[in-house]
Structure formats: structure tokens, C-alpha cells
Homo-oligomer: A and B are copies of this chain.
Amino acid sequence: MKKVAALVGEAIKKSLAGDGSQLYKAAIHLPIQGGKRMRPFLVVKSCEAVGGEAKDALPAATAVELVHNFTLIHDDIMDRDLLRRGVPTVHTVWGVPMGILSGDLLFAEAFNVLLSGGVDCERLRRSAEILAKATVVLSEGQNMDMAFESRIDVSEAEYLDMIYRKTGALFQASAEMGGVMGGGDERSIRLLGEYGRNMGIGFQIFDDYLGMTSKEEVLGKSVGNDIREGKKTLIVIMALASLARGQLLKVLGKKTASDSEIAKLLESMGRHGVLEYVYGKAEAYISKATVAISKLPSSPARDALMDLAKYAISRKK
């Protein structure tokens, strides 16, 4: 995973070398902070899992990471977030106009890098089409997420649809693009997509779960921040439908809620089966993901994808 991250990091730096202007400084600010680079890893390992070579997947892997970073920069403006990966967000440093523009630049560079990738034309075209369609779905996901903020009655199904769009779709696209770039057959590409989608959804559910159950010193942010911000995570949705509802309503959206109030809520969520339910849901998606790729021929790359799925719900942060 570190090897792929390093290669993609280099490719991003090269594609955003630019002209030394503030625009390029703003554009590279977030992508060089790193992050897990899970999506590029998914592209490369999916390519290898169908018998392709890692180098053929690199332009697609870089493009996916650029799209991911572009959406983070724009989402941070929309959500008025001040910090990301431990550093100030782009619009906090350079202002909203430059935040918008540098996100647009990353998006354009994503297609530039991908389409000049210089391998089989039909693989490039199809990968780019998958990426464009996934970005449409990502926009829909962000739109749903923003609409949920002002609602208290978000259902589990709506939440799952939202995180499919906001997270699952780009994981699915990453795996499919890897399969396409590696020259996989239609069945393999479909199985990889199924793996990616379910893994992404499981990853996101577990992410919300971690935000409530982990420790501050591991997370790098306060436990229960999602609750204080009133976010409609699956934990919140299920707690609202459970006997923990009363305890939750005391602190949901309360920016000043104390750690002991959050701890009481956590205890109540545990007692009423909310935590167990949510963890089980994440596990079920990861299980679907692993069933899908277990149908591919055995290979070190497939093993790596299996490990990635397990990591998605066992990581500490």
C-alpha cells in the first residue's frame, strides 16, 4: 500500500507542477498531505487481480485520487470545515474562490492524466467514462448529505443510499477501472465493482462507528464529534429508533456537549444494541465484498484486496 501511495504521490506532484502560481500551490496543498490512498491501491490491486501490470493502472489510480481530493476540497467549502488531515482546509488558507478553482483544476487534471495514459484506447475511454459517471453519483451523494442536515427523519435506507453515492461509488469505480485497465473480462470487472461498492459502504459505516467508539488520542479528534455536529450517521439513525433515543436527543447537535455526556450516550447505545447493530451492518457489507472477490482466481493481489476489506473494519482510525 505504501509503494502504490508513493508512486501516486509522485504522479500527482508531476501533474500539478504548474507555474508556481497560488492556484497550483492551493491545488497541491491537500493531495500532498497523503491520506490513506486506499482508492489508488484498489485500482492497482484490481488491475493485478485480473492479470494486468501495476504500471498500466497508475494513470487511473492517480486520476481517482485527484477526483477524491477535488471532492474533499469542495465538500470542505460546502460543509465549512476548517481542518482536514490535520492541516487547514484549502479555502481556509486561500479563500473560497481559490478553493473552488483549485478543486476544478484537480478535476480537470484527473481526466488529463487518465486520458493521456497511453495504453489501449478502449480501456482508457471506458475507465474515463466510469470515472465521469461515478463523479456524477458523488455529486448526488453530497447533495443528499447536505439535505439530511436539516432533517431528523432520515431512514436507514436513505442513509445507505447516500453513503453508496458518497463513498461506495468511487470505491466501486476504482475497482472497475483497475479491472478494465488490466484487461479483465466482464464477469471479473463486475465482481471487482461489487467488491469495491460493498467495501466502500462497509468502510464508511465503520468510520462513523469509530468516531463514537474509538479514543481521542487515536482518532486525532474528539470522540462523538459527529453527534455534536448533528450528523445523520447510521449510529444516530439507529439510536433515534432505539431506547437510546432520549439520551441522544440531549446531545445531538449540541456543540458544547461534554465528554461525560458523550460517554453516557455511548453506554446507552451499547446497552440498547445500537453499537452492535451498526458494527454488524459494516461487517455484513465487508462480507459481501469478500464473497464477491473470492470468486476471482487466487492471486497475491486478490489476497491484498481481502486484507484491505478486513482492514476497513478492524483499523483503529
A residues with a Cβ closer than 8 A to B are 19, 21-23, 70-71, 74, 77-78, 96-98, 100-105, 107-112, 115-116, 121-122, 124-125, 128-129, 131-133, 135-136, 138-140, 142-143, 146-147
Contacts and interface: CB of A to CB of B under 8 A. Distances in A.
A109 B140 CA distance: 12
A115 B128 contact: yes
B124 A108 contact: no
Chain copies in complex: 2
Contacts of A135: 104, 107-108, 111
B105 A23 contact: no
A142 B26 CA distance: 14
A143 B111 contact: no
Contact of A74 (B100, B109, B110, B136): B100
A140 B19 contact: yes
A74 B129 contact: no
A74 B107 CA distance: 14
A70 B71 CA distance: 15
B115 A101 contact: no
Contact of A111 (B70, B105, B116, B128): B128
24 contacts: A21-B147, A23-B140, A74-B100, A74-B101, A77-B97, A77-B100, A97-B146, A98-B143, A98-B146, A100-B100, A104-B135, A110-B132, A111-B128, A111-B129, A111-B131, A111-B132, A112-B129, A112-B132, A115-B125, A115-B132, A116-B129, A121-B125, A125-B125, A128-B128
